[in-house]
Structure 1
Amino acid sequence: MRLLHTADWHLGQTFHQFERGYEHQRFLDWLLETLAAEEIDALLIAGDIFDNTNPSAVAQRQLYRFLAAAKQRLPRLDIVIIAGNHDSGGRLEAPVPLLEGFDITVIGHTTRDPAGAVELNRLVIPLHDSDGAIAAWCLAIPFLRPGDVPRVAIDGDPYLQGIKALYQQTMEWAVNRQKPGQAIIALGHCHMTGGQLSEESERRILIGGSEALPVSLFDPAMTYVALGHLHRAQRVGGQERVRYSGSPLPMSFAEIHYPHQVIRVDLEGGLLREIKPISIPRFVELLRVPAQPAPPNEVLDQLAALDLADAPLETQPYLEARVLFNSPESGLRTRIEAALDGKPVRFARIESNYRIETGRPGADNPQSLDELERLQPDEIFKKLHLQQYSTEPSSDLLEAFRELLLAPDEEANP
């Protein structure tokens, strides 16, 4: 049996005010051809289908036209979709009565039986090989919010313990139905401990990284674990079988060199035979000028010297100007736009960097406003402590700071 693992499409995303419908459509067209060329039996989409919980009609049409085209091209193809943290689970599941008739499974959230227990049966999906026989069972676990997980009476964070319990329970459900020669595949949308985040496009969900899950969550009997949420394609915990496919398009200029891909997974007799990343073409280029931040006049000179081939607007590259300031400078955007006037490029943003005063830790490394904006409060606290006292705060002091952040505002809530 052959699977294809993809995630984090973010249909409907705009890239610094520019619509990306053309790029997304090119990706979906490429994906359709890849499914056929690679003779895929099951397509697993691990969440963040849309960029937000209220996607545009255009973005929704792109998804459903792709699904219709995929089933028309490959009638036996199993498709399993789970919701990510950017998706509305209810919106994704709205067309389920129609999609079920095409062997398309969508899991947006968990449901409960009259006794209040999570209904595990709808989270375990059979996957069929080219002959129509069940070759694998897929544990389809969407992004889990506190109300989605089982209630567990054990020590520790009830949310994290509930996530672990749900994966264990669905695994047991699948094992009870598994026959010799059938694999068990986990499909999830979560942040794993040690996972490498994109520098700009993906942020931690909770403060302090407490949402991160250990790779030990996944039972050794799981043949492959297909994850979504982090945009950088990567293995997790050093395990070949546990992977993020990454996003198909660069979601920020920081991802300019990421190996965007989908992952082909070959199974044989219930065992993992081969994992093969398949590179996705770059449909629209990203330009960072200059390669390293430089003073405004140097940046303007390089922009004026750009020599680019003419191209339709939708295929013109996005451009980021990387400027190193000694002090704020008004009117620079207008000057950059004038330098780029008539050039076939879409000016997306200025990356503003400021020199740090010498004589302090980190003075030799210019800090951009975007980098500062991405910092969590505890990270800012650690940087300030290091700058003031030349040492990082103790674990006790850092924990006290985090408790202060999470404490209710007594003045606002008397």
Structure 2
Amino acid sequence: MKILHTADWHIGKRLHKTDLAEDFDLFVNWLCEYLNRNPIDVLLISGDVFDFSNPSSESRSQYYRTLIKLKKFDFKIIITGGNHDSPSVLDAPKEILNQLDIHVIGQMPEQFEDSLIPISSENDIKLVIAAIPYLRSRNFQRQFDAENHDNKQEAMKESIAFHFQETAKLAKENFRDVPLMGMGHLFATGASVSESERDIQIGNLAGLEASHFGNKYDYIALGHIHKPQRLTADTPIFYSGSPIPLSFSERKNEKRILVIDTEISFEPESICIPKFRDLILIKGSLEEVKEKLVLVKNDHPLKTLIEIEMIEAESSASITYELEQMIEAFDIENCEIVKHKVTFKNASEVERGVSTAESQVSDFTPKQVFQKKLEGSDETEDTKLELISAFEEILEELNYTEE
């Protein structure tokens, strides 16, 4: 059987007010061309289908259009929820989607067996998928109790490990001698992250070790980290990464899908996704920025987006004004400066605060804003950790739409 592993679609994502819907559509068109030439049996989408827990009507439409396009290839699709997804939003149409052989698990079922999806061919079960979505604090509370932040970290890691190991145990009891693949959405120790990966819950912050997954899986398809990578482990444990760049920190990443041919090996083939737009970061003095900016060009279908970080030694209103005039006059076809920042290395704290005023609240996640607020408080480090923990739980409740 051939399995395609992808994740972190983040439908509805905007990058500095630029809607990335076209980027995603181009990825889907490319994927359909690939599937025309390379048939598969199962498509795995390991979480973060949407960028927001309450996606817009346009984002939902794009999601359903994508599923319709993909279903033309007549394979099974398995979708699990990520930390950006609302379980209830993903699960709402699951009964209809099941009829189309699209299986959605937005939140962890009460019975672990219900996350096991057998894959049949010629009337035989050839493979079992343990479709484990992003695990939230409500999945742990009945199972583990911790009195302080440090214990809570460890307890949540143990609970995540328990979910994977218990599900694998049930799979081996119910489907003896059948290969087992797992899906997860979490942060694992050793994974390289980018600035676009928003903070996830306490249990994942410390990172799961590869050993936490147990030794019963033949492959684990992970989501949450946007850079494609393999964990150091005997079992093939892979992040597929996001199919399009979601932040400027991902501008040099090669985006990929992973394809596993179980007849050959559970080590995946890595397929490079073409680049649909350039993200360019220009750093340096005013003169260096000028020199680099005139060399910018567009070799891709979509508009090139540019960030500028001007760094000068001494504070100067005239230099700042000249930069702003240069940005206003910038007119290279199909290229746009979407953000600029000015730093004077020898400026006072007050001047530095003014010079970096380009940073808007919208540039930060809610947790980052809360952390900045805590930086100015006189609370102890232990108390700050406890407050962050409580804030994350409140955030989760706010982002979760009750059934």
Tell me the SS of whatever aligns to 1:272.
Answer: coil
Counterpart-to-counterpart distance in 1, 2:166 and 2:298: 57
Q: CA RMSD in A?
A: 3.3
Which residue of the other structure, out of 276, 281, 290, is the alignment partner of 2:274?
Answer: 281
Q: Of the two structures, which has the highest relative contact order with CA contacts closer than 8 Å and spacing of 6 or more? A: 2
1:137 paired with 2:135, answer no
1:327 paired with 2:307, answer no
Which residue of the other structure, out of 67, 76, 79, is the alignment partner of 2:77?
Answer: 79
Tell me the SS of whatever aligns to 1:128.
Answer: strand
Compared with structure 1, are the counterparts of its residues 29 and 267 closer, same or farther at alpha carbon in structure 2 (3 Å cutoff)? same
| Residue equivalent to 1:412 | none
Counterpart-to-counterpart distance in 2, 1:132 and 1:337: 64
1:255 Cα offset (Å): 1.1
- The aligned runs of 1:13-412 (5 Å cut-off) are 13-72=13-72, 74-75=73-74, 77-111=75-109, 118-129=110-121, 131=122, 133-149=124-140, 151-152=142-143, 156-157=151-152, 158-180=155-177, 182-198=178-194, 200-206=195-201, 210-239=205-234, 241-268=236-263, 272-289=265-282, 293-303=283-293, 305-306=294-295, 308=297, 315-325=302-312, 326-327=314-315, 329=317, 330-331=320-321, 334-341=324-331, 343-355=333-345, 401-406=381-386
Amino acid in the other structure paired with 1:298? E
Amino acid in the other structure paired with 1:402? D
Counterpart-to-counterpart distance in 2, 1:405 and 1:150: 19
Relative to the length of structure 2, the TM-score reads: 0.80
Tell me the SS of whatever aligns to 2:268.
Answer: strand
Q: Give the structure with the larger helix fraction.
A: 2
Contact 2:181 2:221 in 1 (8 A): yes
Listed as ranges, the gaps of 5+ residues in structure 2 are 348-357, 373-378, 389-403
Listed as ranges, the gaps of 5+ residues in structure 1 are 112-117, 358-367, 381-398, 409-414
Relative to the length of structure 1, the TM-score reads: 0.78
Tell me the SS of whatever aligns to 2:174.
Answer: coil
Counterpart-to-counterpart distance in 1, 2:258 and 2:199: 24
Contact 2:83 2:200 in 1 (8 A): no
Amino acid in the other structure paired with 1:68? I
Tell me the SS of whatever aligns to 2:236.
Answer: strand
Contact 2:46 2:81 in 1 (8 A): yes
Paired-residue identity, %: 31
Counterpart-to-counterpart distance in 2, 1:125 and 1:81: 11
Counterpart-to-counterpart distance in 1, 2:346 and 2:143: 49
Counterpart-to-counterpart distance in 2, 1:61 and 1:132: 35
Total equivalences in the alignment: 363
Counterpart-to-counterpart distance in 1, 2:368 and 2:334: 37
Amino acid in the other structure paired with 2:143? V
Compared with structure 1, are the counterparts of its residues 154 and 404 closer, same or farther at alpha carbon in structure 2 (3 Å cutoff)? closer
1:153 Cα offset (Å): 5.4
